[in-house]
Structure 1
């Protein structure tokens, strides 16, 4: 459910790469690829030395770094023990349609960096953030090996799957086939391991980006948010959901034409060309359908 109490803080809800030496499994959490629904139930089994908040902190060589989403090249060069586990253990990852992922990355940047809830944005403000992201990523000096924390959610998915032209991760599933990944992880955990169950609708949409349905509600956010927070404490869950349905709309419904515009799709097709091919190949291999 949408949380209108304020922006998220580093380490509050973030989940990251998972390594379990006992069962010899690794899950590489690619940003904005539904990894939270897989990673969070495994939290107590994570044996990666660098796991745990705060995820965004200083690294002696790399400076301020997002430890939650480290590409393979960074693991190889700076975290050799973790990289060895990726090579030696059964490794998993989820990938997502690059076009919908880019829209989600724009919203995530707003929440992390500006402390701005997407719900409070107008369509014009969302477009400004989108254009700023494209401008930064299009710069000739924009880093490719590992984007800075403010832009890590835009990191190419291929950087977590392929290294030096060779695939590294054993089992890669499209987000539409997360149930299959869950089944294979359960098999690796064995009869005595913690079992990943099918995610509830609330868990699946926990990170959904919502915007106010009406401009008047957006402008009155400072009044609306605390009133809604108090009402949710006393109203039945069904009543709260009905109010939310009236107040909020998913970002994609509000700004679908913006993210589907030619210049945005052209940018994604170019900047994420390898990811477009990767996702299509993974979908074909899984026997599934592309994300609509």
Structure 2
């Protein structure tokens, strides 16, 4: 087996081309790590993990860092805002520089689509996608699947409504690719100018979306309001927000999800964030064992 083939198998660039069996193995390993009460393990002692974020992040970056430290890895945090990228250094040169210094795995978030896939053909360490443009966000979808599986026991047959700005959402895409492999039905609900016509997914009304087993609200990218793609935050809430009134129509078994960060009072009312049917904060907690499993897979 060639080195590049091995790297590809250990890297996690997306879920579209990952098999159901591979995804299931990651979910099972995450369950293993979640059951361990000890916070720190030395399975990755002596390994160096570099978090390379060329785009702002709070939850994903901290979640990866906690996962790395729980595995006993040495952690290097890179921020584009205080790096030579500001002096004109290319993303490739930055990643290549860290590789030459001896990192064992790179976790990367960036805006341009396609750059990560190209990097993976040139860099000799496994790479993990922490979000690239509106392409994929695989670890977010994995923790979403893990959250659903914990609640329902099985993903097969679930109906999942993803509501909001699908056009610019990497979360929607990764969830779509993964959920379909497990026999779940995915449907979108979105303003007309924020749909993704290239994705073969049915769009439903808000009333129909609320009948699902899982109602996943996407973050409203308020900068779209400045560019004219959204009329206003208030108008969005009225038409596509999960209000208290709308939430009262959810089935008793249904759960509310959100990848965060949350715009309270826009895509979801404040009172619903920690509602008994909400799994928003458990989602965040589940991100740590999921990322432990993904990092372990990359370094094993």
Question: TM-score, structure 1 length as denominator?
Answer: 0.26
Greater helix fraction, Structure 1 or Structure 2? 1
Structure number with higher relative contact order (C-alpha < 8 Å, ≥ 6 residues apart): 1
